[in-house]
Structure 1
Amino acid sequence: MKDIFIERRENLLKIVVRENDKLVECYIEEENNGPIPGEIYKGVVKNVVPAIKCAFIDIGCEKNCYMYLDSKFNNNKIKKQDEVIVEVLKESIGTKGPKVTNAISLPGRYCVIETLNKDIRFSKSIKNEEFKLHIRENINRPKDIGIMIRTNGEKVGLEELQKEISSLYLQLEKIQREGRYSIKPGLLYSDAGVMDRVLRDRVDVKTSRIIVDNEADFQYVNKIVHNISDVKVEVILHNDSRTLLNAYGIEKEILNLRHNKIQLGSGASIVIDKTEAMYVIDVNSGKNLNSNSMERTVLNTNLEAAEEISRQIKLRNLSGIIVVDFIDMDNKEYQDRVLEVLRAGFKDDKNATYIYPFTELNLVQISRRRRGRNISEFIEEKCEVCDGKGKRIKLSYLVSMIKSEVLKIDREQGIKDIYVEMNSIYKKEILEDKIGFVKSIDALDKRVYVNFKNKMELFKVEPLIFANQIQNLEVYRIYG
């Protein structure tokens, strides 16, 4: 069965999908971090560069966004100072602003309405021709929009589809009206971001529970789930001093996504590395000697690796060009079996993913559309101790986890002396702002002892109960 966990802390939202107690998807979203995919803005064209067929548009944010111009988008006559309504396709990266389009689409659970296309289209997963014919002949829709029926649309009746189309169209009319009458560039429409996408796309008959740790989110999720006619899901409010993902042992699994080496059950491993242009994944046989036939061993290792590779790409939200170096196989039938496993792993992936055949060098190329940042960008930052050449877990990320442990100790034991061990690479920042650190872990009413150690990946938090403990560790006290 499938469980969905939704944790909200300060400006960070984490959503995890777990099937049969195994992590299958992880989403992290920072609030107030600029335009995100799916948001719709009114913009003003600031510049048009014909040489690269691109318009740069002010949407009221820090950076101008960019939009490609093409006759198929009916936007190649746009000129400077034109007012446009655009939808964000990609977030800002580095100095590059967000990518936008004038082809507005509003997704629901069962269908998507579109302003560029005027046709009725169907998800590739829908094979039932009778269903398609029934919809085409009976659906009632405004003539100025197109409709794409999603996979879930096949599970409900025409009345439910009609209801959602009407609701989405009313929302579109509101957006267009506000776009016409608003004076300045700015946001016209935003759903609940990644939360709405997960509730819309990931909740299905296999979903048994949605667990949230915030009262407002609890009410919102309940409202959404109540209106989904094809599933029955229990929504649970997590009331505990420990953070939701810590309480369920998921946080450490997320942190493991930082590591580039993943051990497989057979003794083999995969290694994921990022270059300037692409991701490279290498498959190593390691100690996998489970078969008498070397050829069979290679096949089994590659099949196991293919399944884990698709899982890791989705978990880490890797995108762009991904090259996989499988263990060499010359057998075409074996190669096809590996490709089948890879494709099966991306079957329900909402990011457009293309898998190309094996090359002569036994490489498989994967291209995956970028939507959001990869998970490590939320967890890691440059390590100044390494002159910016290395990476470390973000101090803010660690602090939120330490705070969870401090709150747990306070609730269960009420101890006022808290001992923390953490990596020495954080020493300078913490000692320069001791009060800020203590406040961030919610320990202003306590005595805090911090011991900085070399080569410590995470941290340790313990209550100091006995007088001799406190006396021995007095040298590490930074507050109280």
Structure 2
Amino acid sequence: MRQIYINKEDFETNIALVEDGKLINFYSQRNIYSKVGNIYKGKIQKVVNNMNFVFVDIGDEKPGFLSEKAYFESLEIEPQIINNIKDNNKENQFDISKIFQKGQDILVQVIRSPYKTKGARLTRNIIIPGYYTVFCPYSNQIGVSKKIILENERQRLRKILLDTKAKLKSDIGLIARTTAEGISNQQIEEEIKENYNNWQNILKLYKKVKSPALLYEEEAFEIKISRDILNTSIKEVIVDSENVYKDINKYVKKTKLKNIKIKLYKGQDDIFKYYNLISQIEALKNNIVPFKKGGYLKIDTTEALTVIDVNSGKFKGESDVESSILMLNLNAAREIARQIILRNIGGLIVIDFIDMQTEENKKILRKEIEQELSKSKIYFKTTEINEFGLLTVSRKRTSDKISEMYLEQCPNCAGRGVVPTKESICIEQLKKIKYICKIEKKREIVFNISSEIKQEIENRFIQIIKNYEKTYKKKIILQ
């Protein structure tokens, strides 16, 4: 049985997808960074001709980044413009200065939030996702999810999309998601029309406001994730916030998923602690991960790549050495894929398996990890396992890795170890403060914390402290 647990705080939202007590996916977002999916009217701040990308001011502290490649992937540019600027019909030869100029207004969508020294990653390939469909205003293609196998159903959905497109008299693109299978024509058409109206409102607002400006804000993180993972396999959704409880109820009714039970958790303990999930979530911060029959993984993350090393540990195999190594590597591959999905690891991933001699076994191993990674919707590709036992995975980055949110390199050991980020320490303190406020009867509560963390809370999270004082009718003193 599968359940979804949602923890909503003022500062972050955490969502756990659990099957038979085992954590199979974990989503976490600091609420102050919620930008992915937002659509902006930006202003081009700088054009970098030799690199073919531009920096766009969307109102953030750092400008967003839009590459020339993303631009041409996303727009059907008028043929005469392409003819004027192309060179030998190669996109990478296009002179970006003929398309963009400094000070020009531009409509963009955030595909990755700002991270450390980097601004938000932007695209012109704007999409507005619904539960059943994806609305693509800058495409004219009609598509159906590959996971819908029955040809009759695929044809039915294509017809619905084409008919709705014709009714709207708009040359838009539409994709039927897996959740559209078996859904009535009316429900799908209503959702498309709703997103079409959203798009028209965005265009009207674009003409009215000065750049930079937010034109469209993506739905709350918990609704966005629910949109992606809610299906008939989910039996319960348990939330610890009354507002989220109402929102999820409203959303589930809209999707006609009748058999899902929505429960409001009102306990004083952390929801993950109460349902015995804390240890599994905390384990995501460890770089040593044991797997079946005594082996273990060592996961090292840098800004450039992630390296996963397979170690035999106490593993005892068969008398046939090659078969034993294959068994060890297959067990490792399953856990590696699980950890990649759980920790939201993207970008370049290098996996160092135990060396095997036969090409056939290498193919078996590669197929196994591809099959396990396919359990996530995120795009990836792998290379062949080389003579040194190395396999490379390139996986699309969608948001920050769990390690990036919670950990940073230790300043005292030349980066060989990791420590909790200052922000993570503040959040843990805020959770403790909230819990004590719930159970303590005194009207005035004193919390002793380090001067550095006290200053950080007062600088960045003081409004949350004030909210706690108002909600729990307490006087909170930090010292």
TM-score range, shorter chain: 0.7 to 0.9
Q: How does 1:43-442 map to 2 (within 5 A)?
A: 43-70=42-69, 71-74=72-75, 77-138=99-160, 139-141=163-165, 142=168, 143-230=170-257, 232-381=259-408, 390-393=417-420, 394-403=424-433, 406=436, 410=440, 429=452
Distance 1:389 1:363 in 2: 22
CA 1:146–1:432 in 2, change beyond 3 Å: closer, same or farther?
Answer: closer
- What is the DSSP-based 3-state SS (H/G/I as helix, E as strand, rest coil) of the residue aligned with 2:404? helix
Distance 1:88 1:446 in 2: 40
- What displacement does 1:447 show? 12
Distance 2:453 2:106 in 1: 47
Question: Under a length normalisation based on structure 2, what TM-score does the superposition of the two structures give?
Answer: 0.83
- What displacement does 1:317 show? 1.0
Distance 1:12 1:433 in 2: 16
Question: Under a length normalisation based on structure 1, what TM-score does the superposition of the two structures give?
Answer: 0.83
- How many residue pairs match? The answer is 442
Distance 1:96 1:447 in 2: 36
Unpaired runs of 5+ residues, structure 1, are 421-425, 449-477
Q: How does 1:11-26 map to 2 (within 5 A)?
A: 11-26=11-26
- What displacement does 1:401 show? 4.6
8 Å CA contact retained: 1:43, 1:186: yes
- What displacement does 1:315 show? 0.9
| 1:5 corresponding residue in structure 2 | 5
The one-letter code sitting in structure 2 at the alignment partner of 1:326 is F
The one-letter code sitting in structure 2 at the alignment partner of 1:39 is N
8 Å CA contact retained: 1:243, 1:404: no
Distance 2:28 2:130 in 1: 22
The one-letter code sitting in structure 2 at the alignment partner of 1:103 is N
CA 1:121–1:269 in 2, change beyond 3 Å: closer, same or farther?
Answer: same
8 Å CA contact retained: 1:288, 1:297: no
8 Å CA contact retained: 2:11, 2:427: no
Distance 1:64 1:242 in 2: 41
8 Å CA contact retained: 2:317, 2:325: no
- What displacement does 1:290 show? 4.2
8 Å CA contact retained: 2:425, 2:453: no
- What is the DSSP-based 3-state SS (H/G/I as helix, E as strand, rest coil) of the residue aligned with 1:198? helix
| 1:460 corresponding residue in structure 2 | none
- What displacement does 1:386 show? 5.9
- What displacement does 1:132 show? 2.7
8 Å CA contact retained: 1:110, 1:149: yes
8 Å CA contact retained: 1:91, 1:372: yes
CA 1:111–1:445 in 2, change beyond 3 Å: closer, same or farther?
Answer: closer
| 1:455 corresponding residue in structure 2 | none
- CA displacement 1:170-197 (0-9 Å, x = unmatched): 1111111111211232111112343222
The one-letter code sitting in structure 2 at the alignment partner of 1:365 is T
Distance 1:315 1:50 in 2: 39
- CA displacement 1:322-357 (0-9 Å, x = unmatched): 011111122333323322321222224232111222
- What is the DSSP-based 3-state SS (H/G/I as helix, E as strand, rest coil) of the residue aligned with 2:147? coil
CA 1:54–1:434 in 2, change beyond 3 Å: closer, same or farther?
Answer: closer
CA 1:339–1:158 in 2, change beyond 3 Å: closer, same or farther?
Answer: farther
Distance 2:337 2:430 in 1: 30
- What is the DSSP-based 3-state SS (H/G/I as helix, E as strand, rest coil) of the residue aligned with 1:227? helix
- What displacement does 1:206 show? 1.1
- What displacement does 1:155 show? 3.3
Distance 1:364 1:383 in 2: 28
- What displacement does 1:65 show? 1.0
Distance 2:328 2:259 in 1: 39
Distance 2:435 2:220 in 1: 29
8 Å CA contact retained: 1:38, 1:193: no
- What is the DSSP-based 3-state SS (H/G/I as helix, E as strand, rest coil) of the residue aligned with 2:37? coil
- What is the DSSP-based 3-state SS (H/G/I as helix, E as strand, rest coil) of the residue aligned with 2:293? coil
- What displacement does 1:120 show? 0.5
Distance 1:131 1:232 in 2: 23
Distance 2:164 2:319 in 1: 63
CA 1:304–1:418 in 2, change beyond 3 Å: closer, same or farther?
Answer: farther
- What displacement does 1:39 show? 0.9
8 Å CA contact retained: 1:121, 1:147: yes
| 1:465 corresponding residue in structure 2 | none
The one-letter code sitting in structure 2 at the alignment partner of 1:7 is N
- What is the DSSP-based 3-state SS (H/G/I as helix, E as strand, rest coil) of the residue aligned with 1:32? helix
| 1:30 corresponding residue in structure 2 | 30
CA 1:72–1:430 in 2, change beyond 3 Å: closer, same or farther?
Answer: closer
8 Å CA contact retained: 1:319, 1:370: yes
- What is the DSSP-based 3-state SS (H/G/I as helix, E as strand, rest coil) of the residue aligned with 1:286? coil
Distance 1:433 1:396 in 2: 7
Distance 2:150 2:387 in 1: 38
- What displacement does 1:362 show? 1.8
- CA displacement 1:426-472 (0-9 Å, x = unmatched): 856479999999x9698998999xxxxxxxxxxxxxxxxxxxxxxxx
Distance 1:335 1:389 in 2: 31
Unpaired runs of 5+ residues, structure 2, are 78-95
8 Å CA contact retained: 1:113, 1:147: yes
Percent of aligned pairs with the same amino acid: 28
CA 1:113–1:332 in 2, change beyond 3 Å: closer, same or farther?
Answer: same
- What displacement does 1:404 show? 6.0
Distance 1:328 1:400 in 2: 47
- What is the DSSP-based 3-state SS (H/G/I as helix, E as strand, rest coil) of the residue aligned with 2:362? helix
- What displacement does 1:385 show? 6.3
What RMSD in Å do the two structures reach over aligned CA positions? 3.3
8 Å CA contact retained: 2:237, 2:260: yes
| 1:454 corresponding residue in structure 2 | none
